[in-house]
Amino acid sequence: MIDQLIAKIKETGNPSVVGLDPAYAMIPAYIRREMTETWGKTPKAVGEMFFAFNKAIIDAVADLIPAVKPQIAMYERYGLEGLSAYIRTAEYAREKGLVVIGDIKRGDISSTAEAYAAHIGGAEIEGENFDLWKEDFITVNPYFGIDGIRPFLTPCQEQNKGIFILVKTSNPGSGQLQDRLVDGEPLYCRVADLVNEWGAEAMGACGYSKVGAVVGATHPRQGVELRERMPHIFFLVPGYGAQGGKGADLKGYFDKDGLGIIVNSSRGIIAAYQKDADFAGPEEVGPEFAEASRRAVIAMKEDLQNAV
């Protein structure tokens, strides 16, 4: 799958991924009214709102981007109806030819990790395998070491899926653990070495592993260091846009060919209409709200191209 992701980045000329992380306050009022009139003030209505919102954004930007990244927690908070919207969103994105990165940040050991790995490996029932979650990559927490990673490597190797392992995250508090010194080096460097080791077991034809790393845009110095340390590991880069990261911060994240990363923006794209002067706020805007997302993707693409 890493080869397909890189092919899509080359095809679109855009290393951007749209984070589909909807919140109730982002949903335009006309969608909220339609769904509550149909389904009442219920989780079912919210699930339908989220899917309608996501679908409009995907339709507006699918020709510009290689991938989307839905964050499962935004959907889980509304129970089964939210999860249904998550799965339908992933399925629709795939229908539009997009790679789907499920931001689930799972991590555990033994049979529990094996169960989580069904997100990309599928669920087997009486000899038949069901791809229930419609994800091509997922994010994984490495805190359990190889015991928590091994079950995810199997679908990477056997089913051409992929994972992105948390290495240096974009949040301000990441240094409390990730920057702690271990034998004279920050912990994130030791994790990076492990990602290299694990990734060597699942190399793609493109020279990058199906095992990638999450490296935040808000730590440009560390990003350069980690690119040198992990030359064959593809980076998923959060922290662009609303968290403060910009294209100029990412020059050292790219490889010599202008590849090696895919950069996430969530609120900056899906809620763009709320800040675009040409669009009304959530109470007045109509279906044209998704055009603001398209503008935001184009601006991000240009910013990243300038960095390359």
Catalytic residue positions, numbered: 105
Distances (CA, A) of 58 to 31, 51, 52, 164, 218: 16, 10, 10, 22, 26
Sign of CA dihedral 94, 49, 78, 212: positive
3-state secondary structure the chain: CHHHHHHHHHHHCCCEEEEECCCHHHCCHHHHHHHHHHHCCCHHHHHHHHHHHHHHHHHHHCCCCCEEEEEHHHHHCCHHHHHHHHHHHHHHHHHCCCEEEEEEEECCCHHHHHHHCHHHHCEEECCEEECCCCCCEEEECCCCCHHHHHHHHHHHHHCCCEEEEEEECCCHHHHHHHCCEECCEEHHHHHHHHHHHHHCCCECCCCCECEEEEECCCCHHHHHHHHHHCCCCCEEECCECCCCECHHHHHHHCCCCCCCEEEEECHHHHCHHHCCCCCCCCCCCCCCHHHHHHHHHHHHHHHHHHHC
Measure the CA angle with vertex 226, ends 225 and 229; round to 5°.
95
Q: Would you say how long the chain is, in residues?
A: 308
